[in-house]
Structure 1
Amino acid sequence: MDPQVGPYLNSRALCSPLGAARLGQLATGCAVIALVTHSAGYSGSQGVFCMAAWCFCFAMSVVVFFLDATRLYSCLPVSWDNLTVTCAALATLMCVTASVVYPVFFVQSECPYAGCEVRNFRIAVTVCSILATVAYGAEVALCRARPGQAVVGYMATVSGLLKVVQGFVACIIFGALANGSEFSRYAATIYCVAVYAFCFALTAVLVIMTMCGRTRAVRCMPFDRFVVVCTLLEVLLYLSASVVWPVFCFDPKYGSPSRRSSCPWGKCPWDSKIVVTVFSFVNFGLYVADLIYSQRLRFISSHVPSSSRVAP
């Protein structure tokens, strides 16, 4: 064997702050799934969402850790740095959502009919889910590009991380739209849905391009300028949707300015319209922040090997 080759396994996957964060993800994810399946339990759409989020994040962590430890990521046609920080940011958002949803719907101050043991298990699930959120957030913090530091991967920048949050918020909007929002009543609200879908697709394309390493240039402009152009377009579209949607949902001429007392909780179109309105403004603010930050970004990852990492 060539002595210059070195060990087959990547020792940094274990003996580094990043490796410790990923081991924490594996430990807390395994604990959550074991506790839920053992005694804590889950039911309904809220429980299914939480369990799906935990299983997805755990499976993703297993794959990332295995590929990093064995160095097999070098065989993949992807930008490893961009892929891992994107996965960590997405897992952070999913775990923090599950950490809020699960205790709200499944943890009660008094003991349920099944006894206090079930309640205690559900409290333990919540604690482990919060710890998993911290572990994923730690990976994002360790990989994030610092001011004045060479940008190794676009997704490690604030702009790249905002792209993940924008996509996650868009998924919340889509969920509310599907929950009886009555968006098909007016052409204006259909336009808003088209805006949400177009901006989500454009954001997803930018993320996929960076993860696949396709960031040298886009037609006649460099990638960082292409990002700014796309973000400006998304800002303008979200601005229009953030104005049009509430007008056609809550103005007395087109909709209802207040919630009817007879409207059932969880299945009321007015509630879904409120959710869409709130998160439309949230995403508009995220796109504005993304646009402001992108003005200062000079992306140079096309000159850096994909195996290099941002120093923690």
Structure 2
Amino acid sequence: MSSSSGLASATIMGYFLRLLQLFSTCLAFSLVATTGTWRETIGNWSMFIWCFCFVVTLLTFIVELCGLQFLWPFSWDDFLINYASYSTLLCLSASIIYPTTYLQIVPRGSSWNHAIAATAFSCLASVTYATEVAWIYAWPSQITCYVLPMPGLLKGLENFVACVIFGFISNTSLYLHQPALMWCVAAYSICLFLGAVALLLYLRGYSNKLPICFPIFLLGLALFSIFLYASALILWLLYQFDKNFGGQPQRSNDVSCRHHHLVCIWDQRLVVAILTVINLLIYVADLVYWARWVFIRD
């Protein structure tokens, strides 16, 4: 009886969080869409985050409401906590990037008020997704989640930082003029794709069906990703900031920075470089973890 009561309360809690998530993400992108303060690359990224979270959360809500979880090929609990974890990070990034980019350039008035409100609802979405993560983790169940252990946390951070990088390089003028910079984008894409594949292999239960041991596979993946990110970092720094390679070493030389934009093109280049360093360090930590697991654990 107590078990049934607990399940009922868990379902009610899940519906309540889901409705809050739908409400906050819907209002965030609706407020921004009505003001037109998103028609730049960074704004596009924030709008994509809110729309993506709204659509996936709506589909999740419909599946749970209709009891169709059995049609999902993976563990439903694992999907929920992984999705909630990524949505927390994505909405948090939008809550930081959007106001940082637009509140300084939008004139005071209705548009400014809408941008403030959209930021507040984005923060609310981050809180509700984070609450769902904490609630699922605290609920006594047989969750074998890939996000919560250390390797899963590292993989989640790698994918999250990569998504933020793509938010900044959505401005194609940063790299389309130079093949070396296009290689950097390819390196980010390959690493994100392989990270998603590793996650799906785990969730689908295929981690033990690979021709090699899964930890060895992840060790090789981390090593390969380090090579890609190291090459991307070197090329990005050379071709974006070295004058000998056509880069702009000083912010004042960038014409876009002379306009009243808080985050100009030069700033975007710098942010991508910083995020590349951060992700490279995360991959190094990932490599160290799996190297210890493979070579020292026994």
Q: In structure 1, what is the equivalent of residue 236 of structure 2? A: 245
CA distance in 2, matches of 1:75, 1:67: 9
Corresponding residue of 2:68:
72
What is the identity, as a one-letter code, of the residue corresponding to 2:121? C
Give the TM-score of the pair, scaled to structure 2.
0.75
Task: Note the C-alpha offset of 1:214.
Answer: 2.4
Q: Name 2:28's counterpart in structure 1.
A: 32
Q: 1:261 to 1:135 in 2, by over 3 A?
A: same
Task: For 1:156-305, list aligned pairs within 5 A.
Answer: 156-174=148-166, 175-176=168-169, 178-182=171-175, 185=178, 187=180, 189=181, 191-221=183-213, 223-254=214-245, 255-261=247-253, 263-265=255-257, 270-294=266-290
Could you report, residue by residue, the CA deviation over 1:150-193 in whole angstroms, capped at 9, with x for unpaired residues? 87132343432433332232244344275322466465x45444
**Are 2:6 and 1:14 equivalent residues in the alignment?**
no
Quick one: higher RCO (CA 8 Å, sep 6+), 1 or 2?
1
Deviations 1:180-225 (A, max 9, x none): 22466465x454444323222211211232343322231132x233
Cα RMSD after superposing both structures:
3.8
- The worse-fitting range, judged by mean Cα deviation, of 55-64 and 262-271 is 262-271
Contact 2:46 2:98 in 1 (8 A): yes
**Between structures 1 and 2, the one with greater helix share:** 2
| Aligned 8 A contact 1:82 1:210 in 2 | no
* Residues 108 and 119, structure 1, Cα contact 8 Å, conserved in 2: no
Unaligned runs of 5+ in 1: 1-5, 299-312
Contact 1:31 1:128 in 2 (8 A): yes
Gaps in structure 2 of 5+ consecutive residues = none
Q: Check the 8 A contact 2:38/2:47 in 1, yes or no.
A: no
Q: Distance in 2 between matches of 1:297 and 1:24?
A: 41
Q: 1:193 to 1:100 in 2, by over 3 A?
A: closer
State the distance in 2 between where 1:20 and 1:290 align: 36
2:269 & 2:193 partners in 1: Cα distance?
22
279 and 108 in structure 1: CA distance in 2 versus 1, 3 angstrom threshold = closer
Q: 1:32 to 1:191 in 2, by over 3 A?
A: closer
Query: 2:123 aligned to 119, 130, 140, which one?
Result: 130
User: Offset at 1:120?
Assistant: 3.8
Inter-CA distance 271–84: structure 2 relative to 1 (3 Å threshold): same
List per-residue Cα deviations over 1:98-139 (Å, max 9, x = no partner). Answer: 212333355469973xx4x55444433322211111111222
Equivalence for 1:44: 39
Task: Give 1:50-61 correspondences, 5 Å limit.
Answer: 50-61=46-57
Pair 1:186–1:136, CA change in 2 (3 A): same
SS of alignment partner, residue 249 of structure 2: coil
TM-score relative to the length of structure 1: 0.72
Q: For this pair of structures, how many residues does the alignment match?
A: 282
